[in-house]
Chain A
Amino acid sequence: MTSRCILQTALLVYFSTTVLAVNYDLLRFQLSSSSVECQELLLQLNGTTKDCLKDRMNFKFPEEIEKSQQFQKEDFILVTLEMFQKTSDIFRRNLSSTGWNEIIVKNLLETLHWQKEHLEEILEKIMEEENFTWDDRTLLHLKKYYLRIVRYLKAKEYSICAWTIVQAEMLRSFFFLDKLTDYLPN
């Protein structure tokens, strides 16, 4: 009886560990799919920069992400989570001047939200399994990047040109995010 309980407990712990383990291959696929999906939704948003070239701004996307620097898996989760979170926050702001299709915007927000929650759960799991320290500099640079975007929108009073410029910048950020998933460790 005791041996059977021990065996069952051991099996439960083993399979629980397996269940709780993060499958980074699947995470890579999900993140890549989400990035591509977001790009496609952004592309469907109408707009042209023909009359907005004077409103352009260099938001200074973090170079370590643009260059696809190798991150630890914990840093990668934090970076991607921050990007989805901030992008979602940006597109929840005043879009009235854009004239964009609200369904497309809604779909974009739901995709961002789902991926954000997914990443939060993974991050909680990683924090439960092991103690780790992440690189604050990259996260700080990323926070500053999105802060600049928000300040720009505010400064431009959420004009159509500002949103068009931000739209182009978001396309760029998701391209980097998609490229970054290729460096996710196995």
Chain B
Amino acid sequence: MLWSQNASPIRPQHLYLVVYINLMFGVLSSLPDLSDKSCTFKVTLRNFRVILSWELKNHSIVPDHYTLQYTVISIPDHMKTVEHCSNITATFCDLTDVWEVLSETYAVTVDGFRGNTTLVTCFIDFFLATHISLEPPEFDIVDFTDHINVHVNFPPVMPKILDGKVLQFYLPLIIEEQSGGIVKKHNPTLDENVTGNFTYVIDNLLPNTNYCVSVYFKHRNLEEIHRSPVKCTLLPPAQDTGSSESAKIGGIITMFLIAAVFISTILILKRVGYICLRNDFPKVLNFHNMSSWVFPEMPPLEAVAFVEVIHINRKKKVWNYSYDDESDSNDEAAAPLTNTGGYTKHGLVGGLLGPTSASSATWEDRLEPDTEERDLSEPEADTDPLMALGTNPGGSECTSGAYEGRGKLLQDPFSKEDSSSTEGSGDKIIFNVNLSSVFVSALDDDDSEAPPASPSFPEETYNLEDSHRLETSFLEARGEGTQPPFPTPSAECPWPEVVLSDISDSSESGVDTGDGYIMR
């Protein structure tokens, strides 16, 4: 108990006094002797019955019957004769139903008779609560693998002397468990109305171990204890099925906990951002259409539109200041002549840039000029772009922009944009061509035709090494099948469109040479 400094509740001198008194006197180690000069009495609680027994000190005196009377000191009343304890030959009397108060001082008189002669009179007075001897109750044990059930026999009706909390407070029940030299005391809580068979479970025991059990009442004022006879038992060994079942259950629970921890960890990491799950897999990892991947579809028939590219070797006109008429005329005549065969045919694959064509060659690959053209080109000649290689009237910016757009198409033929734009472009291939320097013809009937001899226009040459600039021009062609996607010309960069169907049109824009070519 904690006290203030000023009011120390446990002063040393007082503490020493209490300790001294306790050491000198202490709790009564044994019951005080209930005797007078003639008799020795003993009051016992046996099987929850209050039994008063007596014994004559002088054994030579042997009464043939006895009569017991009693009174209570706190109430000035006459001695009362106990009827069932009158003229009895036994030297004990059951006073359970007579003595109902534990906290009383009872004065008892026992008269011993032989016939009608009183041989002896014994008198005793005692405070019952401090003089009653507590004999242990009857009990039984039932052993299990890991626990023992202790069954204590209580009477069907508790005597009035133990009513209320008297039993729990004044006469608590103690169950002792002994094993291997270790003694454990159990103090079961008894209800006020405890009756019949009271069961107490001693659990947490070791299987296949010997245990001994005893019970007794712990007297509040006395150290003297009357233990019951010990009952020992050897617990059965643990059963495998039970342990296996428990192991299985434990394993299942452990697995469940591990899975729960793992899943919760994944969810936490995903929410925090350590794990970023993507749903949009690259197309190369798209295995949904396995059939098409395993058995690729044959590319559709592609419309092939051939476009003849007429190379015009345009010599840089060098003024020859010699006024020789023959040389000039020869040059003028020779130039177109030498360039007559200076055009190249290129085939444009309609499905070149389609999404399903995995092996389609690029536009650049198809626009490889013949080696003859390289010979025809002069290093000093002006190299103007032709055919797909025409100048962009929109300017260099548009050219580069268009090229970039096209470059995008080439680079990502499997992109969704390409597929959608392919579908939107229909069946057209659009090229920008410098019509001033290109002869365009439809190749359906004109494949075998020789290149036209058109010396009237100057020879022009172009350098294929600069094809990346020239590719900004587009030539529109018509054909079947899917068409490669082409970037739509922006408003800033209008692209001229050439319609091949108008080849035969002898409009103002071109001069029909009569062999299917349009000279513009």
**B-contacting residues of A (Cβ < 8 Å)?**
16, 18-23, 26-27, 30, 36-37, 39-41, 43-44, 48-50, 53, 56-59, 61, 68, 107, 110-111, 114, 117-118, 121-122, 124-125, 165, 168-169, 171-172, 175-176, 178-179, 182
B272 at the A interface (CB under 8 A): no
B416 at the A interface (CB under 8 A): no
The residues in B between 1 and 46 inclusive whose CB is less than 8 angstroms from any CB of A are: 1-4, 7, 9-10, 14, 17-18, 21-22, 24-25, 27-28, 32, 36
Give the CA-CA distance A20 to B2 in the complex, in Å.
Answer: 6
Give the CA-CA distance A165 to B107 in the complex, in Å.
Answer: 12
The residues in B between 107 and 132 inclusive whose CB is less than 8 angstroms from any CB of A are: 107, 123, 125, 127, 129-130
Q: Please list the 10 inter-chain residue pairs (A to B) with the smallest Cβ-Cβ separation, ordered nearest first.
A: A56-B76, A26-B1, A175-B103, A168-B105, A121-B7, A19-B2, A23-B1, A114-B14, A168-B73, A49-B125
Give the CA-CA distance A27 to B129 in the complex, in Å.
Answer: 23
Give the CA-CA distance A21 to B14 in the complex, in Å.
Answer: 21
Number of A-B contacts (CB under 8 A): 113
Q: Choose from B32, B75, B127 the contact partner of A171 (Cβ within 8 Å).
A: B127
Give the CA-CA distance A99 to B74 in the complex, in Å.
Answer: 22
Structural contact, B2 and A21, CB atoms closer than 8 A: yes
Residues of A with C-beta under 8 A to B10: 118
B104 at the A interface (CB under 8 A): yes
- In the complex, how many angstroms separate the beta carbon of B223 from the nearest chain A beta carbon? 11
**A-contacting residues of B (Cβ < 8 Å)?**
1-4, 7, 9-10, 14, 17-18, 21-22, 24-25, 27-28, 32, 36, 71, 73-76, 79, 102-105, 107, 123, 125, 127, 129-130, 164-165, 169-170, 220-221
In the complex with contacts A53-B71, A172-B104, A23-B2 CB distance below 8 A: yes
Structural contact, B17 and A171, CB atoms closer than 8 A: no
Structural contact, A125 and B107, CB atoms closer than 8 A: no
- In the complex, how many angstroms separate the beta carbon of A121 from the nearest chain B beta carbon? 4
Residues of B with C-beta under 8 A to A111: 17-18, 21
- In the complex, how many angstroms separate the beta carbon of A153 from the nearest chain B beta carbon? 16
Give the CA-CA distance A122 to B3 in the complex, in Å.
Answer: 9
Structural contact, A39 and B107, CB atoms closer than 8 A: no
Residues of B with C-beta under 8 A to A58: 74-76
Structural contact, B25 and A44, CB atoms closer than 8 A: yes
Give the CA-CA distance A18 to B28 in the complex, in Å.
Answer: 36
Q: Is the interface of B mostly helix, strand, loop or mixed?
A: loop
Q: Which residue of A lies closest to B26 (CB)?
A: A40
- In the complex, how many angstroms separate the beta carbon of B114 from the nearest chain A beta carbon? 23
Structural contact, A107 and B24, CB atoms closer than 8 A: yes
In the complex with contacts A58-B74, A114-B14, A36-B107 CB distance below 8 A: no
Q: Which residue of B lies closest to A67 (CB)?
A: B164
Residues of A with C-beta under 8 A to B107: 49-50, 53
> Can you list 21 A-B pairs with a CB-CB distance of less than 8 A?
A20-B2, A23-B2, A30-B1, A36-B27, A37-B22, A40-B27, A44-B25, A50-B125, A111-B17, A111-B18, A118-B9, A124-B7, A168-B105, A168-B127, A169-B73, A169-B74, A171-B127, A172-B104, A175-B102, A175-B129, A182-B165
Give the CA-CA distance A121 to B79 in the complex, in Å.
Answer: 46
- In the complex, how many angstroms separate the beta carbon of B409 from the nearest chain A beta carbon? 73
Structural contact, B27 and A121, CB atoms closer than 8 A: no
